[in-house]
Chain A
Amino acid sequence: MSSTDLDTFRAETRAWLEANCPTEMRDGVRNEETICWGGRNWEFISDAQRDWLNVMAAKGWTVPTWPVEYGGAGMDRAHDKILSEELVRLKARLPLQSFGIWMLGPALLAFGSHEQKLQYLPPIARGEVRWCQGYSEPGAGSDLASVQTKADSDGDDYIVNGQKVWTSYADKADCIFALVRTDRDAKKHLGISFLLIDMDSKGVSTKPIRLISGSSPFCETFFDDVRVPKANVVGMEHRGWDVAKHLLTHEREMISGGGAGLLGSRALGAILEEQGGEMDASTRAEALVCEVDALAIGLTLERYKDQAEAGGGVGDASAMLKYQGTELNKRRHELLMSAGGTEALTWDGTHGGLAADWLRTKANSIEGGTSEVMLSIVSRRILGLPG
């Protein structure tokens, strides 16, 4: 692939986006309120949001790197990068974000059968089905492999009983990918299956949990004699741990990107100056360090993604990316709060969701595996220190 090909692609992409991205979708706002999650019951906030999703999905550009037959555009990393850059350049909102895109999709692409991919991936790409993640349980957080939700064999089906917790958007999602115990006699890592369950199934219920940031996007999820076809297992029965871990590497890579605030974006210092006027010496010093780290972490994310195409998957290094990206994001939001001063202390101040955002970032180093767990992964799997 020559650089002229890429230049042509960039020019064509730019022109197409100019022509097809609705003006309302070009305000550069990418926050909770403007996200398009899609799903069976999704209510578009505007016609523009619906149109934007539809034109992008038709081109396979909601999931550019997925194969065309599964709803993507079959792009390589170089083209995908250009598309992202052009979307940023246009200040376009993302047409669709979802756990299906970030997590289930990559896991299905790696472990799913052809039939499963055909069945599940295109609806994710078109934003028709919304997924949530059923990993954590009251007794299984960092020690995820000790999940107890059980799936007992009954002919061609399983009967699922148990409870998940911290299930983000379980009350909004159409389906859940869950870790369930299919073999209670095996060692804990070897008795787990990765199971796809429709949330409309009889016996599934959810109960929202309110977060410190005020919103309640996550839930307890209960399974009470839920019947699920065995055909819904992804990968081999009892070997769901492999699928689960692979999915987590993608989840972690995704979470790390949210924090890095990176090369294309605005400098933290500039935002702080605009927000709080003059910075005091200690805030400024911290902002300098944050800026240096943010740029370097951004480069690291790009470097690993570039390597991934050649070698396939970021793998264990996703633990490093997540640790660095999320810890940075917490530092940045502490600074934003400090620059905002007393004005940042109200829910509805002129800074809008600043306090809510600040509180939300505290979860970044917990969800998808805590920072301590990330360091343990690096220690054991990358440095080879004895467990």
Chain B
Amino acid sequence: MSEDETMLQDAARGFLDGAAPVSHLRGLRDAGKTLDAKLWADMAAMGWTGVLVPEDAGGSDMGHAAAGILANEMGKTLVTSPFLSTAVIAATALRQVASDRATAALAQIAEGKVIYALAVDEGHKHAPENTQLQAVADGNGFRLTGSKGFVVDGSNADRLLVLAQSDTGLTLFDVPADRDGITRTASAMIDARDAASVDFADVQATGDDVVGTVGDAMTVLRPALEAGQAALAAEMAGLAAGAFEMTVAYLKERKQFGIEIGRFQALQHRAAHLWCESEVTASAVRNAGRMLDEDADNATMAVSLAKARATSTAKLAVIEGVQMHGGIGMTDAFDMGFFMKRGRVAAEWLGDYGYHAERVAAARGF
């Protein structure tokens, strides 16, 4: 890591340890909430929400590697915020478009004044190309009809990026979340975070609401999805690191048979294996951020590699985390369960292991 990156990481850790340790997520859950507006405002004040917003739109434009560093630190303590949906995915989509409206939207993101959610999937797996939601031409505009599921941050969102099928192909719309005809139903998610089902019944959208070109959503959406996948991979690597840190600490402290359980080689070798896996995943995650910054048009394989590796490492870290804690790992009072549940949700979001492994294989020619 460069000096700047280390400074960003230290600053992020310092802030999050105070503002959003795992107990923060627990507090939100116990209060039945999925958003802390103060935390989001603080992230804006530090320039995090503008991490991928161009400077002339008021952003800090630190790039994808930096966004990954922030996401990684958030992952370590399961920080709950619309950072990925808004500051990474929506910002990346909007900056592909040169319009006054997009620039204004980006400025709002940088200021922390708007929360975006991406409404893309309809079935139980990530598959943007299977979109059924219809955008039927109507005068100068469209009417949107259909349903989206697993819209992450969908209940808290002010605006939705909606992927729809028009007669010329996939089209991306940017609409206010409370527009007539939109019904949002919050899902009771296992990770205690916000996701919603969103129904669209004859929702009016103007030509202005189209992000990019009609029939060509992917030019805008592909970079946005890849940015989100890379940042999510970074978050998951952080999640694995957070779970691992708790586990190793426990191995050094818990005694059975009169000695620390960390003296048993059966556990030592599994912990060591997990560390080795985490190191390999960290390389893939950093590489994805770097590729998006340096050669975004050719970053697909790097991004999918990162998401695939992060998914498998996070899974291993939480499975081992619960197992090596014995009975206490199974209790709600103990934090490890939060890591396990977030890990499972993140595994599915924006493409699971198989989805990304196939993309790596395709890029490698088989």
Contact = CB atoms under 8 A, between A and B. Distances in A.
Asked if A and B bind, the verdict is yes
Interface in B95-152: none
Contacts of B305: 292, 295-296
Interface of B: 248, 251-252, 259-260, 262-263, 265, 268-269, 271-273, 275-276, 279-284, 286-287, 301, 305, 308-309, 357-358, 360-361, 364-366
B366 A378 contact: no
Of all A-B residue pairs in the complex, the 7 with the closest CB atoms, nearest first, are A269-B366, A267-B364, A378-B272, A379-B268, A299-B283, A300-B283, A375-B272
A288 interface: yes
A300 B279 CA distance: 7
A302 B283 CA distance: 9
Interface string A305-334: 000000000000100100110000000000
A212 interface: no
Nearest to B265: A376
Contacts of A296: 280-281, 283-284, 305, 309
A59 B224 CA distance: 48
Given A272-B366, A300-B283, A386-B252, 12 more contacts: A273-B366, A292-B360, A300-B282, A302-B283, A320-B276, A323-B276, A376-B268, A376-B269, A378-B276, A380-B268, A382-B272, A385-B271
A291 interface: yes
Contacts of A19: none
Given A324-B276, A375-B268, A385-B248, A267 B283 contact: no
Contacts of A1: none
Q: Counting chain A CB atoms within 10 Å of each CB, which of B259, B279, B301, B366 scores highest? A: B366
Interface in A336-387: 372, 374-376, 378-380, 382-387
B269 A303 contact: no
Contact of B284 (A288, A299, A376, A386): A299
B252 A384 contact: yes
Interface residues of A, number: 35
B364 A382 contact: no
A299 B305 CA distance: 11
Contacts of B251: 385
B275 A383 contact: yes
DSSP majority for the B interface? Answer: helix
Contacts of A380: 268
B250 to A, nearest CB: 11
A273 B259 CA distance: 52
Contact of A288 (B282, B283, B361): B361
Contacts of A299: 280, 283-284, 287
A265 to B, nearest CB: 10
Contacts of B365: 267, 269-270
A292 B268 contact: no
A335 interface: no
Contacts of A287: 361, 366
A379 B281 contact: no
Contacts of A384: 248, 252
Contacts of A288: 357-358, 360-361
Contacts of A317: 279
A371 to B, nearest CB: 9
Highest count of chain B CB atoms <10 Å: which of A300, A384, A387: A300
A385 B283 contact: no
A270 B262 contact: no
A317 B248 CA distance: 18
A296 B287 CA distance: 9
A33 B33 CA distance: 67
A285 to B, nearest CB: 9
A292 B353 CA distance: 10
Q: A287, A300, A380, A385 — which one has the most chain B CB atoms within 10 A of its CB?
A: A385
B288 to A, nearest CB: 10
B269 A372 contact: yes
A239 to B, nearest CB: 28
A386 B259 CA distance: 10
A293 interface: yes
A63 interface: no
Interface in A256-304: 267, 269-270, 272-273, 287-289, 291-293, 295-297, 299-300, 302-303
Contacts of B358: 288
21 contacts: A267-B361, A269-B365, A288-B358, A288-B360, A289-B357, A291-B360, A291-B361, A291-B364, A292-B308, A295-B305, A296-B280, A296-B309, A300-B280, A303-B286, A323-B276, A324-B280, A374-B272, A378-B275, A379-B268, A385-B268, A386-B259
Contacts of B262: 385-386
Contacts of B284: 295-296, 299
Contacts of A324: 276, 280
A144 B180 CA distance: 75
Nearest to A377: B272
B272 A376 contact: yes
B193 to A, nearest CB: 27
A72 to B, nearest CB: 28
Contact of B280 (A270, A293, A385): A293
B366 A267 contact: yes
Nearest to A289: B357
B287 A379 contact: no
A269 B272 CA distance: 29
B5 to A, nearest CB: 13
Contacts of B252: 384-386
Interface in A39-75: none
A387 B268 CA distance: 9
Given A299-B287, A376-B269, A385 B263 contact: yes
Nearest to B260: A386
A291 B284 CA distance: 13
B361 A382 contact: no
- A270, A324, A379 interface centre (most CB from chain B within 10 Å): A379
A180 B280 CA distance: 37
B181 to A, nearest CB: 42
A140 B324 CA distance: 33
